[in-house]
Structure 1
Amino acid sequence: PQGRILYVLWNHDFISIQELAKGTGLANTTLTSMLDRMEQKQLIRRTTDINDRRKYLIALTPKARSLEKKYRTVTDQMTELTYQGFTVNEITQLEEYLERVLDNVRNAEMSQKK
C-alpha cells in the first residue's frame, strides 16, 4: 500500500486525503494509519491547505522523491515478468477485467457505507 500511495503522490503532490484515497483505492481509515507510518519514516508530510485551514494536504519529502526512480525500475521489471507471454490484446483484456473487479469492490464498499 505504501507503494501505491507514493505512486499517486509522485504524479499528484500536495493532495487531500480524500483525493489520495480515490487515487489509491484505500479506505480513509487504512490510509490515515499508513500516512502516520509514512510520516514517521519521513516519506510524507502533512501541510495545511491555504484555502481551507481545517484541511490537510499530503506532500512528499525529498527522501520519498529520491525513491521514485528505483520504484519505477522495479515496477517495470515486475510488469515485464507478470505479462511475459501475453499478447497486447490479452493484457488489455486482463486489465479491463481487473478494473471491473475493482469497480465491484468499490461499489460494494459504497453501498455498505449507506
Structure 2
Amino acid sequence: GSSRLKRVHGAYISEEEIKRLAEFWRSQGKPSYEVSILEERRPGKADEDEDYDEKYEEAVAFVMEVGQASVSLLQRRFKIGYNRAARIIERMEREGIVGPSDGVKPREVLIRK
C-alpha cells in the first residue's frame, strides 16, 4: 500500500456495469435526434429575428424626441446593457434613422416625427 492520499470523486463503476447500463438504455427504444442542429445556418428570416428587440420601437421614439442617439443614452434611459443598446443603435443606422458614429459625439437623428 501507499501512504499517499488520493482524492476520488464519484463512485467506481466496473466495465461490466457500464456495458449493462448501456444495453439497458439501448433496450428502452430508439433515440430521437434533433437533426436541425447539424444543418448549416443560412442568412434570411433568422437574421431578421436576431435583430428583433422589444424595446426597439420605444428606443426609436425616444431618440426622435430628444434629437440625438448614443449607446450610453439608451443604456441609461432603458436600463439595458451595452451590447443590447449597441445592437439597437446599429439597427437604427441601417434603417436610416440615425447617422453614422462621429467619435464620442451622439449620433444625429435623421428623421423627425
Q: Which has the larger radius of gyration?
A: 2
Tell me if TM exceeds 0.5.
no
TM range (shorter): 0.3 to 0.5
TM-score of the two chains, using structure 1 as the length reference: 0.42
Q: Which has the higher strand share?
A: 1
